[in-house]
Amino acid sequence: MIETAEERLIIELERRLIASYGHLGQEQISVAVRSAHAAFDRSPIRGFVPLLVERRARAELAQTY
């Protein structure tokens, strides 16, 4: 399987969030990241998608905290 740069960044993001919000559980964090990433599926310009996914996922997880 060939990973794109975006996919690698999303995987790294998920790892960072697990380190920061591990008390919430890996599954909940994965769902937050996948949900945030899906929100940008139709975005034609992909350069900032990982950053936007991180912001959205962190905001969702912070509300749960």
Specify the pLDDT at position 61.
97
Are residues 18 and 26 in contact, defined by beta-carbon separation less than 8 angstroms? Answer: yes
Residue 24, both tokens: 């919430």
**Average pLDDT over the chain, rounded to an integer:** 95
Number of domains in the chain: 1
The kind and range of the H/E element at 49 are helix 49-64
At 15 the three-state DSSP class reads: helix
CB-count exposure of residue 13 (10 Å: 0-12, 13-18, 19+): buried
Dihedral (CA of 8, 9, 13, 15) sign: positive
Model pTM score:
0.92
pLDDT: which is higher, 43 or 1: 43
Percentage of residues of the chain with pLDDT beyond 70: 95
Residue 32 confidence (pLDDT)? 98
User: Would you state the pLDDT for residue 1?
Assistant: 62
Domain that holds residue 12: 5-64
